[in-house]
Amino acid sequence: MTVTIPTNDAVWVAGDLYCKTPEALKIALETLRTTGYNVTDQRIDGYSIKEGRTTPEQMEQNGWSLWYARLDDIDRGKCKSCQSYISRQGIRMHGHTCEVCGEVTFYEMIEGSTISFRFVSTEHGWFDPYLRMTVKRWDTDAGWLYLEREIEPGGWSIMTAEQAEVYLDEHSAKWELVDEDDRQLIKLRFHLRHMGDPVNDETVIEPKDIFGHHINYDEVKVWEGKEYSQYAFGDKALPIPESISVYESWHWAPLEASPTLHERIFRAVHSVSDAGYWYQDGRQAWGRDMYERMGVFVRHFTTLDADKWDRESFGFRLDGPGGIADVAQFCHPDAVVENQPNIGNFLVGVTKAIRGERLVGEEEAAFKAAVDGDPSTQDFMRGMNQRRPK
C-alpha cells in the first residue's frame, strides 16, 4: 500500500516519505498531487507554526515533517435502503434521514434496545454499578423515554435486581409507572440532544451505554470511483495511504552515531524508545519487521554501517526494554536509554497483585518506580482515594 515515486532519492520509511534532495521533493510532491492528494506546506499551515511555537528553520533542523499529503473528501456514508452514497454529516443522529430516499439512517434506541444508566445529579463512585433496562420506546418530540419494568442483569458494573429496586426507590421522584396494554412501563424524562445543544436540565438520566441501535448505513471510502471499506485490510482496503507525511532529509541527514541516535530511529518507525513505556516481563513488543523498517532509515539517513545492521539486527531482542537496549548499543557504545516510571507499569503491577500473580523480571522495579516517581501515577492514586465509593 504505497505510491511509487519515480526517483531513488525518495525513500519510504514506515509509511512516511523522505526526500533526500530538493529535486526529489519536487518529483514527489508532483506525483502525490497528480495521484489526488491535497498537499500542504507545514512551514505555513503546520499547527506548531500557527501556534507560534516553532519556526520553519527549527522544523527543518529538527527533522519534522514539512509536507502533509491527504486524500480529501473520500469518506462517504452509504444508505442501506437505497445504496446511495450520502453525506456523513449527522448520519448517526437519532431519526436522521437519507437525503436520497428519505429512510432513517440511525435510531439511537428502538423497542428492545437495552440502556445502562444512572440518575443525574447524584453522588456516585467510579465503580458504582449502573441500572440496565430494556427500551419500549422513545418519544423524542415530547422527551419521554419508556422502559420495561423488568431489571436486566449484567456483569459487575450492572446492578442486581435487588440493588436496582432500592435505587429506583431512592429516586422515585424522577420516574413514574404508567399502564400500557395491560403492562407497566417506567416513564422518565430523556430529551434528544443534538451536538452543541444546551444541556436540558429536565433530563433525569445519564446513559453509560446503549445496545441495539438501528443502523441503516455503512461508512465507506470512495476513491477514483471505487468503493473501499472503512476498516478492512487487504483487497478491500484503500490501495494507497489516506495521508502521508513528507520529510526533507537534506537539512539534517546523515545523522552521526551518538548516545541518543536510537531515539531518533525509534521515532522514525513511530515507536517509543523509553524502556519504561513497555511491559517489563520479557514479553514480545514487536516483530522482526520493525528492525527491517529501522534498517531502511539506518541505511539512508545515518552514517552507521547498514550492512552490519542487517546482519546483527536479526539477533536483537523483541521485548521492549531488551530491544531498545540492543538498538541503542548498536548506535553508540555509550548510549543512554531512557527508563521513566510509567502509569502503565503501575497498572500492570496492581492487576497482577489482584490476580495473585507475582511480578517477574524488571516488573517489580518498574512498579516501584511508578509508585514513587511518576506524577500521573500519583494523581491517579489520589483520585482513586477521593472517589472511593462509600
Nearer to Zn ion, 100 or 178 (CB): 100
For residue 331, count CB atoms less than 10 angstroms from its CB and return exposed for 0-12, middle for 13-18, buried for 19 or more.
Answer: buried
Q: How far is the CB of 106 from Zn ion (least distance, A)?
A: 12
The single residue among 1, 100, 336, 360 that binds Zn ion, judged by CB under 5 A, is: 100
Stretch that binds Zn ion, among 2-10, 82-90, 261-269, 321-329 (CB under 5 A): 82-90
The CA distance from 338 to 329, in Å, is 13
91 lies in the site for Zn ion, by CB under 5 A: no
The single residue among 1, 53, 89, 101 that binds Zn ion, judged by CB under 5 A, is: 101
* Main-chain dihedrals φ then ψ at residue 352, nearest 5 degrees: -65, -35
For residue 240, the Cα-to-chain-centroid distance in whole angstroms is 21
Task: Quote the cell numbers at residue 214.
Answer: 438501528
Nearer to Zn ion, 82 or 166 (CB): 82
The CA distance from 11 to 18, in Å, is 5
Nearer to Zn ion, 35 or 81 (CB): 81
15 dihedral zone (left: phi>0; alpha: psi -120 to 50; beta): left
Number of amino acids touching Zn ion (CB under 5 A): 6
The CA distance from 383 to 390, in Å, is 14
Q: How far is the CB of 168 from Zn ion (least distance, A)?
A: 41
Q: How far is the CB of 58 from Zn ion (least distance, A)?
A: 50
* Main-chain dihedrals φ then ψ at residue 89, nearest 5 degrees: -60, 115
Nearer to Zn ion, 81 or 378 (CB): 81
Task: Give residues 245-284 in contact with Zn ion (rule: CB under 5 A).
Answer: none
Q: How far is the CB of 78 from Zn ion (least distance, A)?
A: 9
Q: How far is the CB of 76 from Zn ion (least distance, A)?
A: 12
Nearer to Zn ion, 78 or 136 (CB): 78
The single residue among 11, 32, 66, 79 that binds Zn ion, judged by CB under 5 A, is: 79
Q: Name the strand (E) or helix (H) holding 24.
A: helix 22-35
Stretch that binds Zn ion, among 29-37, 96-104, 180-188, 353-361 (CB under 5 A): 96-104
Q: Which residues make beta-bridge pairs with 290?
A: none
Nearest one of 173, 171, 175, 116 to 146, comparing CA atoms: 175
Nearer to Zn ion, 82 or 336 (CB): 82
- Using the structure block, give the residue that is written with the C-alpha cell 511509487: 4
Q: How far is the CB of 73 from Zn ion (least distance, A)?
A: 20
Q: How far is the CB of 50 from Zn ion (least distance, A)?
A: 39
Nearer to Zn ion, 89 or 284 (CB): 89
Task: Quote the cell numbers at residue 365.
Answer: 522495579
| Beta-sheet pairing, 144-151 with 175-180 | unpaired
For residue 242, the Cα-to-chain-centroid distance in whole angstroms is 16
The single residue among 30, 40, 53, 82 that binds Zn ion, judged by CB under 5 A, is: 82
- Gap between the terminal Cα atoms of the chain: 54
The single residue among 59, 98, 328, 348 that binds Zn ion, judged by CB under 5 A, is: 98
Q: Which residues bind Zn ion (CB under 5 A)?
A: 79, 81-82, 98, 100-101
